[in-house]
Structure 1
Amino acid sequence: MPPQLQVIASGQEGLISAKQLDEIGVDASWRYRLVRQCRLTRVTQGVFDTVLVPPEQRSRADVLDHLRRRPAWLGLLAGGPGSTAVGVCALALYEAKGLPRTIRPEVVAPDGKWRPPRDGIVFRKLGNLATTELRDTFRIASVTHALARGVAQLRRDDAVAVMDDLLHAGKITVDDLARAHELARGHRNVEATHPWWCLADGRSESPLESAARLACLDAGIPPDALQLVVRDTNGRFLGRIDLAWRLPDGTWLLVEIDGAEVHGTPEAVFRDRNRQNSLVSAGGSRILRFTGKDIRSRMTTTLSELLRQSGWIAGAYDDHGQPAILGAHPAARGRLL
């Protein structure tokens, strides 16, 4: 196959269009032979996959992100030059974390008119849509317009995780989020999403942390602080904690959410162990660790019981975002710097 074929496809999650193939000299008869030889796979009319392994069986390092971006490119290539990625597909191209594994291809055709679905690809009608250029002749909805259409297509936890990530990465501001919420009004199924928009918090550093925070909110135990910086009495940095509760006796209940991607390597295990030893040695806190499987079960049950026994009251602590001192005198234990 021509080397240009793989160069083009590599930037489109392995996909390439018939028009692009024509432009590099791979005409219809040549494409037919490549498909017969199992060197190309026809995905939909006018779109081919250069990766012969079925998507659900692929094992590349970034396979989840690849599986989310691939439908976006499928829609764009099926729509043709001038097409615009919208909704959840646009969010995938913005590399927002927290999206579901399976995404439906969604695109606005070059003429902006509605078309009937084809092979699972949904063609939207162009409305008042702000777009920007995406590689050559394709376009992508602005991040605010992508959120405005995409949030209503997601489950609550996924939608909040996406908003958290975009805020944390600096791809949107709080004002952008408010504007996206306004733009969302009037879209189908948006009514149920109105409470979700105020739950976004850019301090969450991963979808797992977002899910843990939401689980705690649902259980009636909202964290007093997120990404709490803790120091010892000498001012030495001990760590930054995912979720924290200030207890009535001045101590802290600290919770870390361990995801395999960040905490699963031997280096991470060694680092986490040293940090936990430092926190425990400093005194004035109790630290617990949970995984993604614990979030909607053991985590909330355990934390609810501990907080109930301590006499903790939701909203009694005012988080100013300042570091907490561990191991201070009992009268000042947990006091902020």
Structure 2
Amino acid sequence: MSDAPPRVVLRRDALDQGFSDDEIGRLTRRQDWVRLRRGAYLDGAPPDGAAARHRLLVRAALGGLRRPAVVSHQSAAVLFGLPLWGVRLDRVHVTRRPPSWNDASRALVVHVGSLGDDEVVEVGGVLVTSPARTAVDLARTLPFDRAVVVLDAALHTGLCTGPSLSEALGRCAGRPGVRSASRAVSFADGRSESVGESRSRVALHRLGLVPSDLQFRVRTLDGVLLGRTDFAWEDRRVVGEFDGRVKYGRLLRPGQLPGDAVFEEKRREDAIRDEGWGVVRWTWADLDSLTRLGARVRRALSRGG
């Protein structure tokens, strides 16, 4: 069985190859071809995952453009492999240099903005806004917490640096959303390792429960490392952990079962508590309720280690 990705077929190319509209209709009714958008089909089953499907939409959209454009915003983020939380991926986003005009349809959003040559890179044969420009464009257009998720990931993966984000921000001076982007860039921290940790950090700041450190290393009095925790309130001797299920998958060693990883994590937490540290954990559901998250963390801080 081939692992090759399904092929995107444009109607105009199919007609040039001798297909008729009737044949295309029969192929789609039999689901041999899947309609991606008007005039574009997928020769095979669509992949799982919104990001994988969006990559195919990008290919389909670019094939149907009459004027060249650079993939940008959330579409560029998908091509770079950056995580997106709460961001719609039903339309492809591109940017054109002026003179042009902003435009939007059910399948495509066209932004207009100046682009330096160094702000355009190639990803898999596709012209894309650079990582820093992509992150800043999203920070200008997304709500604060969603922008932070992208910015944290861009810094953590090394796609961007603090100076490169600052430079990209400076080039956007005078454009809509720059003040919001500046706030998000200032808040961004590459020590956040996941969407859940980035969302947690935003929530804790909104609650006035700002941790003193991230990725805090807990050691015994003899200096033996017991573990690294997501957050710490050192003056209260309390550490915090965002407890997303995927985390245990990241902890797995070759051949290790998920249950073994959970048991090992429990032993790690017990060792941390034995050193006089309190531990507070929260989940995705807690992030959807600031009241619940705030109450949980405040109880832990009031008890202390």
Question: TM-score, normalization: structure 1?
Answer: 0.74
Q: Secondary structure at 1:186's aligned position in 2?
A: coil
Match of residue 242 from structure 2: 257
Q: Secondary structure at 1:92's aligned position in 2?
A: helix
Q: Secondary structure at 1:254's aligned position in 2?
A: strand
Q: Secondary structure at 1:234's aligned position in 2?
A: coil
**In structure 2, distance between residues paired with 1:111 and 1:40:** 37
**In structure 2, distance between residues paired with 1:305 and 1:86:** 44
Any conservation in 2 of the 1:86–1:140 contact (CA below 8 Å)?
yes
- 1:109-258 matches, within 5 Å, as 113-114=100-101, 116-125=103-112, 127-129=114-116, 130-136=119-125, 138-247=126-235, 252-258=237-243
Q: Could you say if the C-alpha distance between residues 20 and 257 of structure 1 is closer, same or farther in structure 2, counting changes exceeding 3 Å?
A: farther
Q: Match of 2:279, as an amino acid?
A: I
Q: Secondary structure at 1:79's aligned position in 2?
A: coil
Match of residue 316 from structure 1: none
- 1:100-111 matches, within 5 Å, as 100-103=86-89, 104-108=91-95
Any conservation in 2 of the 1:64–1:101 contact (CA below 8 Å)?
no
What do you get for the CA RMSD once the two structures are aligned? 3.2
- 1:316-335 matches, within 5 Å, as none
Question: What's the CA shift for 1:294?
Answer: 1.3
Which of 79, 86, 90 is the equivalent residue of 2:76? Answer: 90
Q: Unmatched 5+ residue regions in structure 1?
A: 311-333
**In structure 2, distance between residues paired with 1:238 and 1:197:** 32
Which of 270, 275, 279 is the equivalent residue of 2:272? Answer: 279
**In structure 1, distance between residues paired with 2:43 and 2:99:** 29
Q: Could you say if the C-alpha distance between residues 82 and 22 of structure 1 is closer, same or farther in structure 2, counting changes exceeding 3 Å?
A: farther
Q: Secondary structure at 1:102's aligned position in 2?
A: coil
Question: TM-score, normalization: structure 2?
Answer: 0.81
Question: What's the CA shift for 1:242?
Answer: 0.3
Match of residue 304 from structure 1: 298
Match of residue 286 from structure 2: 294
Note the alpha carbon deviations across 1:160-207, whole angstroms, 9 max, x for none.
Answer: 111111111111111111112223333333333332211000001111
Q: Unmatched 5+ residue regions in structure 2?
A: 250-257
**In structure 1, distance between residues paired with 2:98 and 2:40:** 19
Aligned residues: 291
Match of residue 27 from structure 2: 34
Q: Secondary structure at 1:247's aligned position in 2?
A: helix
Any conservation in 1 of the 2:97–2:113 contact (CA below 8 Å)?
no
Identity %: 23
Question: What's the CA shift for 1:52?
Answer: 5.2
